[in-house]
Structure 1
Amino acid sequence: MAAPAAKQDGFHDCRDAWARTLEELAADNPDIVAVVNDSVGSSKLGGFQKKFPDRLVNVGIAEQTMVGVGAGLANGGKIPFVSAASCFLTGRALEQVKADIAYARFNVKLVGQSSGVAYGELGPTHHSIEDFAWLRPLDAITVIAPADAWETAEAVKWAAAHDGPVYLRLSRMPVPDLDIANRVFRPGKAEVVREGQDVTLIASGTTVHLAARAANALQAEGVSARVLNMATLNPLDEAALSAAASETGAIVTVEEANIRGGLGGAVAEFTAGHLPVPVERVGFPGFVVTGSVDWLFEHYGISETGIASAARRAIARKRP
C-alpha cells in the first residue's frame, strides 16, 4: 500500500506541525517573519497571519520576487521563512535561490510545500521531484526532508536557530509517526529506524515508514534489513553510508523524488567512489504519468512490495 492521499487514523499532515511550531517560535522571537507567494492557505499560515499580521509578506504569484524579498529581509537581520509550493519555489525561482541565497549564504529558510507528487492529478507541472537534484549542488544550503510530524517540528526549530540557508521539504500527504524511542533530531546524521545485517534500506521523507514496513515483510522471509531515515540530503551522512555498505553489502534507496540526482543519485555517487556495493534505487525515473498519489506510488514501486522486491534484487547482486 502506498502513502495515503487522504488522512487516516494515526496519520498526520506535517504542515500542521510546521505551522504550529513556527507560530510558537515567532511568539518568542520577533525577528521571525514569513514570506509567501499567495500561498497563505496551502502553507497553513492563516494562524500566523492572524497573530502576526505585520510579519507576513505576501508578494502574490511572483516566486522570484518572493525569494529576493526573503534575501533582503535576511540581510536586514530578520529570519525569513519563505514558503511556497516546492515545484515553484525551487523551479521558477532557482536562479534567485542560487544567487541571492546560496551564493550570498543569507540566513533564509526555504520551505517547499506539497513536495514530490502530492498534487497528484495536477501532473508534472505541479510535481516537485527534481528539487533534490537542483539544490544538492548548492552546498551552502542544508536540505532536509522530515519523515513525520515530530521530525518536522524539530527541523523547523533547528532551522530557526541555525545561521545559514535551509531548505525544508514538506508534503501535504499524511504520514504516521515513526516508532523510535528516545529520538533526537541531528541534522546531517541518519536516524536508525531499525537494525539489520543483510541489506540497508535508506529512505527520506514520506517513504521512511514504507521502508520500515518493507523491512518487517522481509524479516518474515528471514532477511534482516537495516532501515535508515536519511532526512538530511545535504550534507549527506557519509559515515552511515560507509557502515551500511561495509556491514550489509547491499543498499536500497527510497524517495518521493527523481532517482537521478536525488537520494538515490547521492548514495550511488558515494558508494561508487568509496565502497562499491549493489545499489537499487526506488523512486521516479523522470517525468511521471498523471494519476492519483496512491496510484503513482504503487505504479512506480514506492510501496512495501516494491521496496522489498528491490531489496531482494540488491541482495542477489551481492558479491559472494
Structure 2
Amino acid sequence: MTRFGYTLFTEQSGPKELVRYAVSAEQAGFDFEVSSDHYFPWLSAQGHAPYAWSVLGAVAHATERVELFTYVTCPTMRYHPAVVAQKAATLQILADGRFTLGLGSGENLNEHVVGKRWPTVARRQEMLREAIQIIRELFTGDLVDWKGEYFEVDSARLWDLPDTPVQIATAVSGERSVETFAPLSDHLIAVEPNKDLVDAWHDARRATGLPGDVRVVGQIPVCWDTDKDAAVRRAHDQFRWFSGGWAVNSDLPTTAGFDGATQYVRPEDVAESIPCGPDLDAIVEAVSKYWAAGFTDIALVQIGDESQEQFLKEAAAPLLDKLRTAAN
C-alpha cells in the first residue's frame, strides 16, 4: 500500500505557517509529513529557514494521526550526534511514536555556518556512519563513552526514552552509500526514482540477515495552481535550484551560489521536470515513477508558500484520491 506525504518545506514558509499547514495536510488525508532541516533557503526568493525541530515539536502536538519524519537531518557538523539522539528521543515522546529520524550526509549550504571545512563525499559518509552508530548506542538508554575517528562522547545518557523506539531512515544515492548504510538503517530515503538503487538496498540488507522489504521514502516537487503560467513562474522563481542535481546541490555554500549556478535555467526547463498547473493527472504521472521504482512512501512538495492554503483546500484531497487509485 503506497503512502503519500506532505512536505513541511522550511525553506519557503515561516514556523507558524508550517504548523498550520501540517494540521491542514492531516485533515486533507495525507498519511505522513516530512520536514526539511535547513539553516538557509536554497534561493533568497524562498525567504525562510526556521529551526525544524521546534516546528516538529509543535506539529507533534497539533496533529494526531500523521507520521512525522526529518527529511533530512545531518548529524555530523551543525549538530553533534549525541544532541540529535536526544532531540529525536524527545520528539518521539511528543509524537506518541509517530516519528522517524531521517538522516543524511548534509549540504554545505546548511553546515558551513559552524565554520568547519566542508569534507569530501567519502569523508561525509564516514562521518555519518559513525554518527548513526553513536545515535544507536544512545537510543539504548545506556551510559555511552565513545572515542572514534570523528566524534567523542563523554559519559552521555538519554534520560527520557520513548516507549516506541525511534527508527532511522538514511538518505543514499549510490552503491557505496547503499553498502555502508543498509545494515545500519531501518528504512531508505532517496531523491530519485531509481529502481536499481532500491533493489540494491534490499539486497544489501538481506545479505546481512536483515529484513529486505523496508520502507522506501521519496520526495517530488509539484507546483499546482489553477493558472499554469503562474505555476511555471513560481516554480522557476523558487525551485530552479532543483535542476543542478545533488552532486552540485550538496557543495554550493550560499543562496548567491545557487542563484549564479541557475541563472541560465529557463522557465520551460523547470516545467519539463516539475509538473506545473491544474492538471492532477500530470502530477499522478510524475509521481508514478516512484512507486514503479519500489517506493513505499512518497512526499509531495507543493512549491510556494503563497499557494499552500489553496492547494490544501482545493487540490490535495482529489489528488490523493487519484494517487491512491493509480498506485494501489
Short-chain TM bin: under 0.3
| TM-score normalised over the length of structure 1 | 0.27
Name the structure with the higher helix share. Answer: 2
